[in-house]
Amino acid sequence: MKILIVDDSSTMRRIIINTLSRIGYSDVVEGDNGKSGLEKLAQGGIEMIITDWNMPEMDGLEFVQTVRTQNAAIPILMVTTNAAKEDIVQALQSGVNNYVVKPFTPETLKEKIESLLG
Amino acid sequence: MDQSEIDALLKAAGTQPAPSTPGALAGHEVEGRVISEIDAVTAVTERETNKVMDQLDLISQLVNRQQTLITEVMKHSGAQDPAVQEAIHQILSAAKDIQDKVFGAMDLMQFQDITRQKLERIVFHLRQIHDYIVELLGTGLKSEGERASISRTIQNTGTTPDEKKADADAVVEEFLRSKNKG
């Protein structure tokens, strides 16, 4: 299971990678904004996406909208500090399958990933 | 050390000293400086947080190595005494506790990203205050174009991160329910 992690914070990417490795997912690819995320996705083999919202160049929402024009099936989990109800709804309407508000616990991330893959 | 010595040191290090006279900079220059200083704080915090993460990674690897070595000792013929086995089990249990604490500390490093976004929110509000004052004084000077993506998000959504803490799970469930009904 290859997972694409898109976040402009290298610290956050490390934390997510570390959490994924603890729950059995060690095959990961990284992007630091939506644009680089699309480039990584185009290389193929990605089965799931975990993305932040607030990023330079191309934010997570635009990234998700672009991905959905090419791939309707790939599970997308948004992990962000944006916690307002209207933000969550906007993300879901854009094609996000589930949503985690930072800071998260490893248990929450595990639960969300498993529910998306289940 | 007096201010001129500090300034000389900063100059030697390639850093511009702050002006000694308050108000010597134009409004947009002050704004630019505030933004660049906040950027610097963010960059340094991220770099240092990654150093802490490196150390935690190292501790984690050392504990893993220790667990492997102790597990090997357990199999040794000379370690089959029940009291020795019990002691080894306790050591392994303590090692697991250390590993859990290390992972917990790594998870806590999320504060860096959250703090960064809070700082970007401050920049956004500073820019708004700056534009308001400029408009009030009628100088026609507007703040420079959007720098941080978060500013764009704030403008698009009208909200700032963690301004309102909705129960994300409840919102997702409600959305999926209404989608399934439709």
**Domains delineated in chain A:** 3-117 (3.40.50.2300)
Domain boundaries, chain B: 3-181
Side chain identity, residue B115: T
Nearest to B53 among A11, A19, A106 (CB): A11
Least confident of A19-33, B23-37, B108-122: B23-37
Q: What is the DSSP string of chain A?
A: --EEEE-S-HHHHHHHHHHHHHTT---EEEESSHHHHHHHHHTS---EEEE-S--SSS-HHHHHHHHHHH-SSS-EEEEES---HHHHHHHHHHT-SEEEESS--HHHHHHHHHHHH-
Pairs of CB atoms within 8 A across A/B: 110
CA distance to partner chain B, nearest, from residue A118 (Å)? 16
Distance CA A74, CA A55 (A): 21
Taking contacts as CB-CB distances below 8 angstroms, the residues of chain A near B173 are: none
Which residue would you say has higher pLDDT here, B140 or A44? A44
Q: What is the DSSP string of B118-174?
A: HHHHHHHHHHHHHHHHHHHHT----PPPP-SHHHHHHHHHS--TTSS---HHHHHHH
Q: B-contacting residues of A 55-94, CB under 8 Å?
A: 55-57, 59, 61, 80-90, 92-93
Average confidence (pLDDT) over B10-14:
47
The pLDDT tens digits for B44-66 are 988 999 999 999 999 999 999 99
What chain A residue is nearest to B150 in terms of C-alpha separation? A54
Assembly ipTM:
0.82
Within 10 angstroms of residue B85's Cβ, the number of other Cβ atoms is: 12
DSSP state of B78: G
Q: What percent helix, strand, coil does chain B show, rounded to 5? A: 75, 0, 25
Q: Angle at Cα A76 formed by Cα A70 and Cα A78, nearest 5°?
A: 130
Taking contacts as CB-CB distances below 8 angstroms, the residues of chain B near A93 are: 175
Residue with tokens 């935690």: B56
Average confidence (pLDDT) over B79-89:
92
Distance CA B72, CA A81 (A): 45
Q: Do A80 and B111 touch (CB under 8 A)?
A: no
The pLDDT tens digits for B86-139 are 999 999 999 999 999 999 999 999 998 888 888 888 888 888 888 888 888 876
CA distance to partner chain A, nearest, from residue B124 (Å)? 14
* Average pLDDT of chain B to the nearest whole number: 77
What chain A residue is nearest to B51 in terms of C-alpha separation? A11
Q: Which residues pair with A77 in a beta bridge?
A: A50, A98
Q: Do B106 and A105 touch (CB under 8 A)?
A: no
CA distance to partner chain A, nearest, from residue B130 (Å)? 23
Residue with tokens 């400029």: B134
Q: B-contacting residues of A 23-52, CB under 8 Å?
A: none
Q: Do A59 and B171 touch (CB under 8 A)?
A: no
What chain B residue is nearest to A61 in terms of C-alpha separation? B153
DSSP state of B104: H
Q: With beta carbons less than 8 A apart as the criterion, state whether A17 and B109 touch.
A: no
CA distance to partner chain B, nearest, from residue A45 (Å)? 27
Rg value, chain A, Cα: 13
Q: With beta carbons less than 8 A apart as the criterion, state whether B140 and A57 touch.
A: no
Distance CA A12, CA B112 (A): 8
Angle between helix A10-22 and helix B82-108 axes, rounded to 10 deg: 150
Q: Do A85 and B172 touch (CB under 8 A)?
A: no
Q: With beta carbons less than 8 A apart as the criterion, state whether A1 and A45 touch.
A: no
